[in-house]
């Protein structure tokens, strides 16, 4: 049974992809454009957005800094004055490895500002227009790192866990009122963020493969869209383990 209306027909739909200057967001915007959607791309990097528009005729650039609530509100108002988007996907994210013996408070706050507060800024601006129309879909890109505590994830993991929790609450609040909600929990994807890692990343996939998986999840009406399954299924099983076993397995697997 689908938890959301299935998104299968893209011509005539407006898709707003936030965090589309690189990585999963850019690949997803390109995929949706190829399927016939009218794509609106947002990020801080205006040049990257303009390059995307040149490569994808008919798309629209809407630059904004997700951490600036006033900017987000103004951009949303400008967009919705023309046409309320059918799908809003929050792909903006920040990541830097951090452990408890080297806490960087400024970096922690940057994670919170982009990964969580930015999503709330978007939700505060877009929810009312979607509810007024009575249909639409909101999708948040979280991470399997938000399932349970992992080494090197002192700042990233908690903010992604909060994003998954946020999506669950949104679903309970908005689905009865006609708005679909989904949360995307990728494993390792080859992006500028994961390029910073100096450890082995199992089951790495391309941003294009990630975009394909997201679109497939929307088409199935899924709430949680996770990929690649050969990796995320293992993480899902680890969520069920008691702490004694979980901590021992993580230490053994990572050496940390």
Report, as residue numbers or ranges, the catalytic residues: 156, 160
Distance between CA atoms of 126 and 63, rounded to whole angstroms? 16
**Six-digit token string for 88:** 């809003």
Of 171, 153, 116, 161, the C-alpha closest to 254 is 153
Helix extents (H) in the chain: 23-34, 46-55, 69-82, 105-111, 118-133, 156-174, 207-220, 229-238, 243-254
- Residue whose tokens read 């450890």: 199
Q: Let me know: does 80 contact 73? Beta carbons within 8 Å.
A: no
Q: Let me know: does 205 contact 187? Beta carbons within 8 Å.
A: yes
Q: Let me know: does 30 contact 102? Beta carbons within 8 Å.
A: no
Q: How many residues does the chain have?
A: 256
What value, to the nearest 5°, has the Cα angle with vertex 107 and ends 49 and 159?
Answer: 80
Contacts by residues 252-256 (CB-CB < 8 Å, ≥ 24 positions apart): 254/150, 254/151, 254/199, 256/99, 256/151, 256/152
**Six-digit token string for 180:** 């679909």
């Amino acid at each position: 049974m689908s938890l959301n209306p299935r998104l299968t027909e893209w011509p005539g739909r407006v898709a707003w992809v936030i965090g589309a200057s690189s990585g999963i967001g850019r690949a997803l915007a390109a995929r949706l454009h190829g399927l016939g959607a009218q794509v609106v791309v947002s990020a801080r990097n205006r040049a990257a957005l303009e390059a995307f528009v040149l490569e994808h005729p008919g798309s629209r650039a809407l630059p904004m800094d997700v951490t600036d609530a006033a900017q987000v509100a103004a951009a949303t108002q400008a967009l919705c004055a023309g046409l309320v988007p059918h799908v809003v996907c929050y792909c903006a994210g920040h990541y830097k490895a951090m452990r408890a013996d080297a806490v960087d408070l400024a970096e922690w706050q940057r994670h919170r500002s982009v990964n969580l507060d930015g999503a709330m800024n978007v939700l505060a601006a877009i929810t009312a227009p979607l509810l007024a129309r009575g249909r639409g879909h909101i999708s948040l890109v979280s991470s399997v790192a938000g399932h349970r505590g992992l080494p090197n994830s002192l700042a990233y993991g908690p903010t992604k866990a909060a994003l998954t929790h946020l999506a669950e609450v949104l679903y309970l609040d908005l689905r009865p009122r006609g708005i679909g909600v989904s949360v995307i929990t990728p494993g390792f994807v080859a992006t500028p963020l994961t390029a910073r890692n100096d450890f082995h990343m199992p089951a790495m996939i391309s941003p294009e493969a990630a975009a394909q998986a997201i679109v497939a999840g929307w088409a199935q009406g899924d709430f949680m869209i996770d990929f690649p399954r050969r990796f995320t299924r293992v993480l899902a099983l680890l969520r069920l383990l008691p702490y004694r076993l979980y901590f021992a397995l993580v230490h053994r697997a990572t050496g940390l």
